[in-house]
Amino acid sequence: MTNIIVIILYVVLGLMAVAVALAAYLLSAIGLYRICKKLDAGLAWLSFIPVLSTAALIKAGDAAADRKDPDSRRLIKQGIISMALTIVFFVLTMGLALAVVIMAKSNVANSYVLIPLILMYIVSFFAIAFDVWMCVLFYISYYRVYAAFTQGFVTWLLFAALFLVPGATSIVLLVLSFFPPCKPEILYEN
């Protein structure tokens, strides 16, 4: 009887966690979609595709930076290349891990198992490096979007909230999407 109660509890908690994650995802996607539309960023529809929503965010960041300085540096090409390389390195790492498992199960000599294992560590290092670069592009884009919708200290306050409050990104994007972007001439004033 106790096992049935525990199983039911796990199922209910699991469904609640999935519902909360889905709600946060939808709030973030809707907010990002509306922001892309307001900034005329293009690629707004990518907001609803889990992995590709990062490209929509980077494109929105580029559009927000263009409002201040039309000659600002574009990040979208770097973002797409970084996303693609991250996926390639992930697939290579998984392939090498599978090779290690197959070689270990087929009783191949230990020295041969080390070759894909060492390659797996090298590829993993590059995958982590591109993930870090994606995080940098991600937060630069968030800052650009926040700066396009807020002014001065508020931008830094919102940006700090991203690091302090889990899930703040979804809420902040949705709330910002209900306001018009600031006029280009008053952006980034000190």
SS (HEC) of 88-119? HHHHHHHHHHHHHHHHHHCCCCHHHHHHHHHH
pLDDT digits (tens, 9 = 90+) for 22-72: 888 888 899 889 999 988 888 888 889 887 888 888 888 888 888 777 777
Q: What is the pTM of this model?
A: 0.71
Q: Residue 147's domain spans which residues?
A: 2-186
Q: Say what the pLDDT of residue 13 is.
A: 93
Residue-level pLDDT at 181: 84
Q: Low-confidence residues of the chain, pLDDT below 70?
A: 1, 107-113, 152-159, 161-167, 184-190
Structure token digits, residue 78: 């770097």
Domain count, the chain: 1
Alpha carbon distance 15, 8 (integer Å): 11
